[in-house]
Amino acid sequence: MLWKGDEKKEVRQDIAYKNKFLYFIIRPVDDKNCLYCSGINISRFLPLTRGRHRLGQNPVEKGLQSVNYGVRAVLISKGAIIKSTKGNSCPDFINKGADLWYTESFNIENCSHELADVISYAVLNLLKKIFTALMLDEKLPEGLPESSEVEYYLEDLCEKYKEKEIL
């Protein structure tokens, strides 16, 4: 809580889940509106995706697109109004370096304060969609692990599938 004069104001902070493979961030813009930003590192997922999809059908990109449709639906069910953004509305949340990232963002009007479940939904469903599309028989945790745990898990998974023969 932040005290300003005689008024008591709540300081709203970012809800963020980010690592070297992906990020989902909801950033308050003002008292009632937020900016939703998401991104996936296509370069980091190459050991998993290489040769396992058709041209223009990268399951990592398609997975993020599909998950973000679901995120929109969840937010609308909570009374939010979704508005498109123009251009790159999200500042650089992470150091992208030379990696290729696919990103999406939108504005959320009437943004509620309980949005952590939206981030959890996004992360877990993204991984499910990617694994299903790539036909990987990998188990996911029931709850949402820390972002660093997911990063290590995905690094190990990429190493595991790096040299595997693709049918």
Q: Which of 69, 12, 51, 6 minimizes the C-alpha distance to 163?
A: 51
Range from 44-48, 116-120, 137-141, 144-148 carrying the lowest mean pLDDT: 137-141
Q: Kindly state whether residue 156 falls inside one of the protein's structural domains.
A: no
Mention every residue, 6+ apart, whose C-beta is less than 8 A from residue 41. 20, 21, 22, 96, 99, 100, 101
How far apart are the C-alpha atoms of 58 and 42, rounded to whole Å? 9
Q: Kindly state whether residue 57 falls inside one of the protein's structural domains.
A: yes
Q: What is the mean pLDDT of the chain?
A: 83
Q: Kindly state whether residue 159 falls inside one of the protein's structural domains.
A: no
Give residue 119's domain range.
11-146
Q: Kindly state whether residue 55 falls inside one of the protein's structural domains.
A: yes
pTM above 0.75, yes or no: yes
Q: Kindly state whether residue 153 falls inside one of the protein's structural domains.
A: no
How far apart are the C-alpha atoms of 134 and 89, rounded to whole Å? 30
Q: Kindly state whether residue 63 falls inside one of the protein's structural domains.
A: yes
Percent of the chain scoring above 70 in pLDDT: 80
Residues 52-58: contacts with CB under 8 Å, at least 24 apart:
52/134, 52/135, 52/166, 53/133, 53/134, 58/102
DSSP code, position 159:
H
Total number of domains in the chain: 1
